[in-house]
């Protein structure tokens, strides 16, 4: 199954994407994670995108499409994949279709997580991540047992550079202008499935499982 998990920043795409990836045995491909890895490894790509990301702006479509095309060519995508954080613009959606068409593939479903703007801002500003194992916490809804320390591995928690107030606002306005129109686009293709993202993590997972 070829899937897209769609939603605003902080809608819970990463968390639910991981769940779908495990239950369907398909790789979860997060362009945001791939770019963060590139930045961390100081690769050529990382140098290009680092300042764009810290501003909360979008990486140019051509760079994103090239990265995704290479990733989808790998063997583990043969029996399906889940895209998280991509496509984010109309040209990216069209580019994805062209990439897939070359190997007679298409997107089967787009799962759209709907969350109110108010709770997005709250979620992003209280999000913390383990430096060591990547587990995500929320200071309000899912705090670690010991402040600043990961329950899972004892690692130190940090806040993503783009999870600060002014950058969050910018990311949201980019989302509303560039990304939200894709909802209509996929609705017109009859592949959009909407899920209420304001519920608890297991409730949302159950709703998604029922759709797949
Ligand atoms: P979130 O969904 O929480 O905003 P991501 O981890 O998906 O975060 O993305 C972080 C940043 O990486 C984005 O703000 C953007 O700069 C860059 N990025 C990720 N995916 C894309 C994409 N498909 N197109 C353009 N830029 C992207
Ligand atoms: Zn950890």
Considering every ligand atom, which ligand is closest to the CA of 50?
A: 1
Q: What is the pLDDT of residue 166?
A: 86
For residue 81, give both structure tokens. Answer: 């994949």
Q: Is 14 in the pocket of ligand 1 (CB under 6 A)?
A: no
Low-confidence ranges of the chain (pLDDT < 50): none
Query: Does residue 136 fall inside a structural domain?
Result: no
Q: Give me the CATH number covering residue 205.
A: 3.40.50.300
Query: Does residue 111 fall inside a structural domain?
Result: yes
State pLDDT tens for residues 87-111.
999 999 999 999 999 999 999 999 9
Q: What is the pLDDT of residue 69?
A: 97
Alpha carbons 48 and 59: distance in angstroms, whole number: 9
Query: Does residue 8 fall inside a structural domain?
Result: yes
Q: What is the pLDDT of residue 140?
A: 86
Q: What is the pLDDT of residue 192?
A: 98
**Cβ count within 10 A of residue 184:** 11
Q: Is 32 in the pocket of ligand 1 (CB under 6 A)?
A: yes
Alpha carbons 65 and 47: distance in angstroms, whole number: 17
Q: Which residues are catalytic?
A: 13, 88, 127, 160, 171
Query: Does residue 78 fall inside a structural domain?
Result: yes
With a CB cutoff of 8 Å and minimum separation 6, the contacts of 58 are: 52, 64, 88, 89, 174, 178
Query: Does residue 79 fall inside a structural domain?
Result: yes
For residue 153, give both structure tokens. Answer: 């591995």
Considering every ligand atom, which ligand is closest to the CA of 136?
A: 2
Q: Is 35 in the pocket of ligand 1 (CB under 6 A)?
A: yes
Closest ligand 1 atom to 10 CA: 3
Centre of ligand 1 to C-alpha 31, Å, is 6
Q: What is the pLDDT of residue 105?
A: 96
Q: Is 20 in the pocket of ligand 1 (CB under 6 A)?
A: no
State pLDDT tens for residues 181-202.
999 999 999 999 999 999 989 9
Query: Does residue 126 fall inside a structural domain?
Result: no
Centre of ligand 1 to C-alpha 61, Å, is 11
Query: Does residue 151 fall inside a structural domain?
Result: no
Q: Is 9 in the pocket of ligand 1 (CB under 6 A)?
A: yes
Closest ligand 1 atom to 31 CA: 20
Q: What is the pLDDT of residue 141?
A: 84
- Which residue puts its alpha carbon closest to atom 15 of ligand 1? 58
Alpha carbons 174 and 176: distance in angstroms, whole number: 6
Domain containing residue 96:
2-115+176-211
Domain count, the chain: 1
* Strand ranges for the chain from DSSP E: 2-7, 28-30, 81-84, 109-114, 127-130, 136-138, 157-158, 192-196
HSE toward the beta carbon, residue 134, CA cutoff 13 A: 6
pTM confidence score: 0.92
């Amino acid at each position: 199954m070829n899937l897209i998990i769609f939603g605003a920043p902080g809608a819970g795409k990463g968390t639910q994407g991981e769940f779908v990836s495990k239950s369907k045995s398909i790789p979860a491909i997060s362009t945001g994670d791939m770019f963060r890895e590139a930045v961390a490894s100081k690769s050529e790509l990382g140098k290009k995108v680092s300042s764009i990301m810290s501003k909360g702006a979008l990486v140019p479509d051509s760079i994103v499409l090239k990265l995704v095309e290479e990733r989808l060519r790998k063997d583990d995508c043969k029996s399906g994949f889940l895209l998280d954080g991509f496509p984010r613009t109309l040209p990216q959606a069209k580019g994805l279709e062209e990439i897939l068409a070359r190997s007679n593939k298409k997107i089967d479903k787009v799962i759209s997580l709907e969350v109110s703007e108010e709770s997005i801002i709250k979620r992003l500003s209280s999000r913390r991540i383990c430096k060591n194992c990547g587990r995500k916490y929320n200071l309000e809804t899912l705090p670690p047992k010991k402040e600043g320390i990961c329950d899972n591995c004892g690692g130190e928690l940090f806040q993503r550079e783009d999870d600060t107030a002014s950058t969050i606002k910018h990311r949201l306005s980019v989302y509303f202008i560039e990304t939200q129109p894709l909802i209509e686009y996929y609705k017109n293709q009859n592949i959009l499935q909407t899920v209420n993202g304001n519920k608890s993590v297991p409730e949302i997972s159950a709703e998604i499982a029922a759709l797949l």
